[in-house]
Each structure stands twice: as structure tokens, then as C-alpha cells.
Amino acid sequence: MVGTFSSGSSYSPDGFVIYLFLPSSSLMWGVSPTYNYSISYISAAGAGWGGDSYPSPIQGNVIFPQSSTPYIVVQWDPVWQTAAFTSGATGQWNVFIVSNTKGNNPSVTPNPSPNIGSGYAGWDGIGTGAFQPNPGDRINVTVIYDPSTNTLTGVATDLNTGQSASFTLNLGNYFTPPSSGNYVFGVGGAGHDSWALLYVAMTTSIEPTPSALPTWIIATAVIVVVVVLIVAILMIKRRKR
């Protein structure tokens, strides 16, 4: 995705939020004006956590949609390492595994936070690199999930300055790679500034399945057999001569 922000305080909270693997059957959310505000969700403040206190000390009033299964929330928050610091936080990314089956009872794991400890949940302020964008800067944010390794990677780059912040995270036992199905992926802005999306795209890469492999294996085997037969026939003819 590419986005920007237009105004705000002396720093730019709280960046962009990416939602991964919300099952489409459990909520009304789609690419249409009729879907605006139709999903069932609760905000961090609405859950009684405050806008900037939990699950991360820095996340803004992020919303948590209802879902029948756990999903991933990834946030690039430029406040980290530019205006907010804490022990164990090294970068500008938050990652939450969220369960919210009823729409008003969100829970976030890992709990406590593996990197900043008790009182918080999820991975908070992880990664390397940090930058403070200027109003009007174009920011490219890319998040990749690899189900074969259950790993998330992300990079945010200020296209005006070339500065970047990135992370790589193995989700371990906290998240199970989703099964085949239809899912919703969401993007949004957080915090108090005027964040705007300029471009959003999603791509998938499908690895060859075991059932597809025999096709070329068989073809190769047939070619080898034919070559062996030809050689054998030529040798027989030579012997006859």
C-alpha cells in the first residue's frame, strides 16, 4: 500500500494498520460504499483499554473487528523510536493476534508481550530502523505472510527520503496458518492525524502442490525410457552387423 498524512502534531501517530485473514463468512465487509461502517467491531478505547495504553503502550485507537477465528493485526507506528521509547522495543511495528468472536470482547495474544513484558500484549515496537515522515510524504508499506514458515515480514519506506523501518517475525504457536477459504484483508489509518490511502493492492503466490509434480516427473521418465530404448535398438543393430 501507499499512503500519506496531511497534518498533525509535531510527530505523526499512529500510522497504518493491516488486517490479515478475517473470514468473510463471519462479517459484512467488502469493497463497496454499502459496507462502510457495517462491520461489527470495537475500538481499543471502547474495550476499556484507552487509545494508547493496551495492548501496546503505543498504538492509538485501533479497531478490532468481529471474527469467528483469530486474525492478525500488523501496525506500522512511527511514534515508536521517534517520540516513544521503552525497554525491549527496538523498531516501529506492532503485531497482535486477535480473537473477537462476539464483536465486543477482544483478546490479544501473546500475553504478556514477549518483548516488552507484563501489562501489554502482542509484539510491541519490534523490528529495526525508524523514521519520522513529513506531512505529504508518500509512504510505501508492504506486509508479507508466508504460511509455509508461519512468518510475517514488513517494511515501511518513505518514498520522499528513502528511510525505512522493517521487521521479520515467526508467529510460532500463537497463530495457526489458515486453511483454504475466503478471507477479508483490511487496511486503515490510526491515531489523530489525517492519514490517507493512495493505493492498495494484494497479491498471492501459490507454490506447486504435490499432486502437480507427477506430471513433469512422468514426462521426464518417458523421455528417459525412449532414449534408453533408442540406444538399445542401435546397439542391437550394430551387433547384428
Distance CA 119, CA 144 (A): 28
All three cell numbers of 95:
503485531
194 & 218 share domain: no
Q: Structural domain of residue 214, as residue ranges?
A: 210-240
216 & 181 share domain: no
Domain count, the chain: 2
Nearest to 96 by CA among 118, 116, 80, 111: 111
Local structure of residue 209 (DSSP, 8 states)? P
103 & 28 share domain: yes
Query: Does residue 205 sit within a domain?
Result: no
Q: Note down pLDDT in tens along the chain; length 241 residues.
A: 999 988 755 566 789 999 999 887 655 565 566 665 567 888 888 888 876 789 999 888 888 988 889 999 999 999 999 989 999 999 999 999 999 998 888 999 999 999 999 999 999 999 999 999 988 999 999 999 999 999 999 999 999 999 999 999 999 999 999 988 888 888 888 766 678 889 999 888 765 444 444 443 333 333 333 334 444 444 444 444 4
**pTM above the 0.85 mark?**
no
130 & 224 share domain: no
Query: Does residue 43 sit within a domain?
Result: yes
Query: Does residue 204 sit within a domain?
Result: no
- Tell me how crowded residue 115 is: count the other CB atoms within 10 A of its CB: 18
57 & 137 share domain: yes
191 & 77 share domain: yes
